Chains A and B, each alone.
Chain A
Amino acid sequence: MNLKAILAIALCKLLRLLSRLLGRGGTAMPGRWALKLCPDLLARLSKNVKTVVITGTNGKTTSARIVEQAFREQGLSYLANRSGANLLSGVTTEFVMNCTLGGKMKKEYAVIECDEAATVKVFPQLRPQVVIVTNLFRDQLDRFGEVTHTLGNIRTALESVPEATICLNADCSLCSSLALSLPNRAVYFGLEQGAVPSRAKAALSDATHCIRCKTEYEYDYVSYGHLGGFRCPKCGYARHAADYAVTELIEQRSSGSTVAVSIRGEKQIAEINLPALYNVYNAIGALAASVEMGVEKEKALHALAVFKGGFGRMEAFQLGRADVRMMLIKNPAGCNQVIDYLEGLRNRFVLVICLNDRGADGTDVSWIWDAEFERLNSIAGRIEKIIVSGDRAQDMRVRLKYAGIPDASITVEHDYEKIVSSLETLETDICLMPTYTATLELREVMVRHCGGKQFWEG
């Protein structure tokens, strides 16, 4: 380490200490200043650390939690950016907090979730062993631009690390196209035909036409959104067979799923400790990456059964006598998956939707019109009450009105404290659907009422 790097490390640690003394997270800011002093600090620190990076639109945090659990099962010493600070600054902060003042790393492995747009800056420094690309959906178009632009970012990032193994979602025509132009070793994960009942092709798809020749895809089956058994009738680009495959969804419960998986042809049964189909995808992708990193299969499988999700990701709370699930929503694909989950619930529940439009949420709330809130009508009998909140509560209220939910039955309440207090005496279940920044605020109130950790404690 040269003098600049040593100074940057000291500065970063000091700023973090000060942040914590002020009661803040200090997850990104210290790294930002350290990088000003030593722009290649992350490259210097991560040189001998074996790293898994998780990127993609949805499922980054949950996938990272599963890989972490697999590493724990295997007894590996690792660091992880658990706080959600997933830009170059946040990743750098995390590495600094796990090194000595002299710049010697205390951990051998790292599990890093990385923002799609940040991959271009992060990958060349971090040089990961394994990269998971979970999926690509339309997301925060005001920030990321078009979905093909995001794909281009990830491709550029991967071009800088040809030695990395890439774990691609076989069912996502956008993700798996990365292997067409990159020299990297690719392994694929996905859901086999028949694993779940095929859906009708989504009215709204983010990938209707072949990425290579622009002919409309044909589908053998659709699992959700544009994910499924796609093939181009013209140029032959088609879903690649999955090395890590879910072959059957044996049982879906409100608390988790049981699935049959095939690991390079070897059949196994796996329990997944979080409900909903999108977590089945997260599980199989994380399983693939864990095994590729050298975790034994049995340990990686056990990790699926016992991992704990990240904050707000189907996170369970107990409020008085009520079972609460907090389910982060941030784009149509993820939101539709949460609505799927709501459809599967048997108990009556109160629904709270918190819509913010701050930088980290995406300032454009148009996406709520692409999410299928109309489907709430078919389960209206089980919805005790709907509360809308957040900076753009009124937009959410209008959305629900046009989805067919009577305006008179929707309550607008901006004060989270009031909302949570009013729910405390309920006996029905509670489903919270906040956007990203609303998750942070609402979670703080929930933690005050139910106990739990601060966001940076993971």
Chain B
Amino acid sequence: MELKICHLYPDVLNLYGDGGNIVCMQKRLLWRGVGAEVTRLGIGSAASLAGYDLVFIGGGQDFEQQVLLADLHRGRADEIRAAANDGVVFLTICGGYQMLGHYYETFDGKRCDFIGLLDLVTVGAKQRMIGNYKFRCTESAGGSTVVGFENHSGRTMLGSSLEPLGTVLSGYGNNGEDKTEGAHWKNVFGTYSHGPMLPKNPEFCDLLLRTALERKYGSSSLEPLDDAAEKTAHDEMCGKL
């Protein structure tokens, strides 16, 4: 068994230790004897997005997001939509998550059109939402408690038919108001938990891996791992929040 993982736009969407998620998925597969092949597809790459089992898109700086839009509109957006509709597992964080929505409107009213895969919009606010936070995933997203760090000025509003990824237990989440965090549609997972969210939330990481393996091989059972270190780090932060 092997999963093909694509790290999309690692050259510009690589803020805050995003790469930690790739390392985490890769290691947790390898430790179980499952192969993991990671491909980095950067801006301007002509390579196709087809054939991947898992796609990761991280967060970026505003400066670089402008470079990104041009690339998306050169065909990458269509590929993302096709893959997502086909059930490919996506983990998208912060800027990468916002990018899947309809648009981002800056605080002073400038609108940036995104790919419209998910029924959500993001509007910039004056006050940044920064800090450690935790949320509980919905049952359909595994029901685990996730601890992470959020740092965003965008407030994301979900359309009425779009499920959130979870409910905020402490912190801001999508917008600091409705207690929703992230979004979950088909096998697409979007969240504001930036950077290395997976290493400290092994249950959530395994959900992504299991989903991708099931899609590819029909069934999957992931052997349990010794997660003492991960769980201690998770629980310690949970206790502080």
Contact = CB atoms under 8 A, between A and B. Distances in A.
Contacts of B196: 366, 369, 399
B229 A401 contact: yes
B24 A366 contact: no
A209 interface: yes
A399 B64 contact: no
B12 A364 contact: no
A394 interface: yes
Contacts of B11: 205, 208
Given A142-B151, A209-B12, A368-B17, A148 B63 contact: yes
B132 interface: yes
Interface string A115-145: 0000000000000000000000010011001
Nearest to B20: A369
Interface in A202-249: 203-205, 208-209, 214, 216
Interface string A394-407: 11011101100001
A395 B195 CA distance: 13
A19 B86 CA distance: 66
Main secondary structure of the interface of A (DSSP, over half): helix
Interface in B78-123: none
Contacts of B199: 369, 398-399, 402
B50 interface: no
Interface of A: 138, 141-142, 145-148, 203-205, 208-209, 214, 216, 363-370, 394-395, 397-399, 401-402, 407
Contacts of B230: 398, 401
B44 A216 contact: yes
Contact of B17 (A203, A208, A216, A370): A370
Given A216-B43, A399-B199, A407-B228, A366 B16 contact: yes
Contacts of B12: 208-209
Interface of B: 10-12, 14-20, 23-24, 27, 43-44, 61-64, 66-67, 128, 130-132, 149, 151, 194-196, 199-200, 226, 228-230, 232-233, 236
A366 B61 contact: no
Given A208-B11, A402-B23, A397 B16 contact: no
A189 B149 CA distance: 37
A209 B66 CA distance: 11
21 contacts: A141-B16, A142-B149, A145-B128, A203-B10, A204-B19, A205-B11, A209-B12, A209-B63, A216-B43, A363-B132, A364-B16, A364-B195, A366-B20, A369-B17, A369-B23, A369-B195, A369-B196, A370-B17, A394-B229, A398-B200, A401-B230
A57 B115 CA distance: 35
A369 B19 contact: yes
Contacts of A214: 66-67
A394 B18 CA distance: 19
Contact of B16 (A148, A367, A401, A402): A367
A402 B20 contact: yes
Contacts of B64: 208-209
B23 A407 contact: no
